[in-house]
Amino acid sequence: MLLFWHGNNWAAKICYFGLLIISKTSVFGLSNVFYNTCTGFAGTNFVTDSLFAVFSINVTWYGFYNWFEQLVSFQRYKNREQDMKFKMSHHYAWIRDFTVKNWMYNFAVWMVLAYYSANVCFMVPFYAYGATPTGNGKQVDMWTVGLMIYLLCVWFTHLLFARYFRDFNRTVLIIGAIIWIQWLIVIFLVNMGAKFDPLWKAVWESMFQLQFWSVFFVTLMLMLLPTYIYRLTQSLIVFKQFNYA
More confident residue, 115 or 189: 115
**Which pLDDT tens digit goes with each residue over 197-228?**
556 666 677 777 888 889 999 999 999 999 88
pLDDT for residue 131 is more than 90? no
**Which pLDDT tens digit goes with each residue over 94-103?**
777 787 888 8
As a whole number, the mean pLDDT across the chain is: 77
C-beta separation of 109 from 6 below 8 A: no
Query: Cα–Cα distances in Å, from 96 out to 7, 93, 212, 244?
Result: 10, 5, 45, 19
- pTM of the full predicted structure? 0.78
**Range in 40-54, 67-81, 129-143, 221-235 the model is least confident about:** 129-143
